[in-house]
Amino acid sequence: MAKGSVYIPEVDLPNLHKYKYSGTDKSLLSRYVLCHYWNNLVKVFPMWMAPNLITFLGFCFVLVNFATLLYYDPTLEKESPAWVYYSYGLGLWIYASLDAIDGKQARRTGQSGPLGELFDHGCDSLNTTIEMVIASSVFGLGRTWWTVVIVWVGLFNFYLSTMEEYHTGTLYLGYFSGPVEGITISCLLYALTGYVGQSVWFTDYKQLLPLPASLADHLPDGALNHSFVVFGLVAMLPNLINSIHNVYEARSRAGKPFLPALVTVLPFVVASALGYLWLDASPALLHQHLVSFFVFITFGFGYTVGRMIVAHVTKAPFPLVNVMFIPLLLGAANAQLARFGLPHLLTQANEHYMVYAAVAYAAVVYLHFAHTVVDQICDYLDIWCFRIKHKKTM
């Protein structure tokens, strides 16, 4: 019998047996187009292949994409060779394809369970930051607030969907605003960039749209890449309203108060505020070390989402606070103190050491969490993570 840990107390382990996946996918693209592709793709994989191994294989393509970015465009300000943009689209498409069929493989092999959801969502949470940084490179947003905003939009949408699933017990995917549509559009835009060149994204959007002169004169000027960021912000609002509505309905049906559920948005809000205070007071961090900062965010967000998923599958209280706040708090405090000429730890010239320390800290904490939780669940449920221990009986 598995012992409890700081992540899953022993008293919560029996709830793993109560887990049952529930999802509502209203995506028209998934239902009428991609489902046929996925149903045939899963048949390529042998019955002895564990679903989590398929998930991890797909995530390896994301890591290859990120390594390519670090080699060709570590500043997010250079144009890469055309094949790089094609590879970004291909890598993302392969990742999304394998991510879509790991659940089908789990049902084929009788391996559905809480570990699969944790592993799947864990990889998705890491991919969210990485993919937004890659998009910033493709669209030429550079190490600017535009990149910060587009990453923040992606993270907030993912956080909302995870929070919503915790409270409702169901993963909701909309008709047009789900990850399938976003990934498909991203792959097409990456391919387009490889074909026509990155310069297309610096064009004024009004030159590319068939707008009447009378209307165009009243619209603000703006590069096409910046327009994408603004569109992402606007498109986020319906997702926010829909998530809050779904949580409200679920809490009402269960006879529970709504306000405590609404409070679970606060961890993201607080982390966002601390991140803003750090970046705003440190131009060097924003314009020189932004990619390193987002590596820290990748691990930090993955840890935060992981704790939420663990709480969901074990029916534990929502984790409002976690240790990933510490680097953000220290960084923000140091930068703000320096801004006002008060005693601080590091100057802007040496602040990159704090960023590197934050990356190392977050990586160690996240890897310890992932290893501990996976090992604990596998031990308690008597399963393996990357191999099928108990084969499906016909």
**Tens digit of each residue's pLDDT (9 = 90 or more) over 260-313:** 999 999 999 999 999 999 999 999 999 999 999 999 999 999 999 999 999 999
Q: What is the mean pLDDT of the chain?
A: 90
Radius of gyration, alpha carbons of the chain: 22
* pLDDT value of residue 1: 47
Question: What is d(CA 237, CA 206) in angstroms, rounded to the nearest whole number?
Answer: 24
* Residue 139 predicted with pLDDT over 60: yes
Beta carbons within 10 angstroms of residue 39's beta carbon: 11
* pLDDT value of residue 174: 55
Given 17, 121, 167, 368, the catalytic residue: 121
Structure tokens at 138: 């493709």
Stretch 176-192: mean pLDDT: 85
The rounded Cα 54 to chain-centroid distance in angstroms is: 18
* Residue 385 predicted with pLDDT over 80: yes
| CATH of range 10-381; options 3.40.50.300, 1.20.120.1760, 3.40.50.720, 1.10.760.10 | 1.20.120.1760
Least reliable range by pLDDT among 52-66, 176-190, 239-253, 314-328: 176-190
* Residue 218 predicted with pLDDT over 80: no
- Give the start-end residues of each E strand in 35-129: none
In this structure, what are the phi and psi dihedrals at residue 76, rounded to the nearest 5 degrees?
60, 20
Is 17 designated active site? no
* pLDDT value of residue 70: 96
> Domain residues of the chain, as ranges?
10-381
* Residue 2 predicted with pLDDT over 60: no
Q: How confident is the model at residue 216 (pLDDT cuts 50, 70, 90)?
A: low
* pLDDT value of residue 337: 92
